[in-house]
Structure 1
Amino acid sequence: MSGTTGMNPALEAASSDHLVTHNDYLAAVEAVLLVAEEPVTPAELAAAVNLAEHQVLALLDELRAEADGADGGRERGFELREVAGGWRYYSRVRYAEEVSAFVLAGQTTRLSSAALETLAVIAYRQPVSRSQVAAIRGVNVDGVVRTLVARGLLDTAGADPVTGATLYTTTAELLERLGLDSISDLPKLSPHLPGVEDLDAEDLDAEDLDAEDLDAEDPALD
């Protein structure tokens, strides 16, 4: 089925401005799953690509089979799992050792600009979910957050009561590296952003946690 280029009969009732062929819809569902930070339900996927749920379920089965190397294809390093009532891509379990080595290898290296910006957003807005951080930064932050958690700079703090998304906070280790007694000792935003009191949470500048401050306090990040 993955090699089909024309309209699949199961999709004939669908309507979209740019999704026409079976492969279009297959790729659209795949794209949504790639940016999801939590398992996505068939209903959510159906709404995103403008299909019926049973049609989306057929596409999900095909994507899972493709990742598993069905019909003689190459088995991918990732797999599509159905968990907690939704679907999401995960790295394949057999490569957990290699993935862990990659994530943990960065613990003695300097934090990237992306990591520092993400850390700053969480420090000032905590507790906060990855999707909220992504909305502020304008980019996906899943990998960066995982790295910061692995390095002991972030920790989980339950789930958002409305969305169920995991919330993140900074750790005591971060305070130690910054030389601060508490998170309230972070530099105030107001002097740098006049009128910040009137801004919405998503409008706060993520760059007020100076990268030099973080690196200067922690030789291990050099």
Structure 2
Amino acid sequence: MDLPSDQEARRILEAALLCAHQPMSVRDMKQLFDGALSTDAIIALLGGLQESWQGRGVALVEVATGWRFQTCGDVQAHLDRLHPEKPPRYSRATMETLAIIAYKQPVTRGDIEDIRGVTVSSHIIKQLEDRGWIEVIGHREAPGRPALLATTRQFLDDLGLSSLAQLPTLEGLPLGQASLPGLDETLALDGRADEDLDASAQDEAPSPQDVAGLAPGATEEPPRAESAQIAP
């Protein structure tokens, strides 16, 4: 395949990204040119596209699974008027569980219960798994070999983030200085059971600030790693 000019390559990339239903990886973009363009060349073209779309209602952004065009926050309120119905939100119990997994991962269900101070409903875990936001990444080498839960790349995509390091930081002790069972912070729900607070899931993902607002403890660094047997 003949090497396209920068202008032509940028047009092809722009068209592919605008038509894509999911974020596109650099590997996928290279296939557009039959491998004639290198990774560095693709990245340079993406940078040019980002600049050319600055100040418009949509922007080219990088998320966990690739690149995509998405609407800018300052115009979203106007677009929402096309669909004024407000979908039901996730319960506070669900959001707290998601926040703990996001900021303390990998964690077991028991870790979450130690932090929240209440039993974690199986419905909440299934709800987050079905939404594609959490997954089992292995098992802790402890009695019963409890499953280790972590967030997915879909979770980052839905929040518009490319890595966990982009989650809002909180004031307090870094995660690496806290052990889950010994944490004093709890996120109990005024004595009410999870089942009493569960609501139907909304189609729209929470914002990073929503997740951070319900996270226990604090972090100035990405989530810590844990020794475990990773699931195949």
TM-score range, shorter chain: 0.3 to 0.5
Q: Output the TM-score relative to the length of structure 1.
A: 0.40
Higher helix share: 1
- Bigger relative CO (Cα 8 Å, ≥ 6 apart): 2
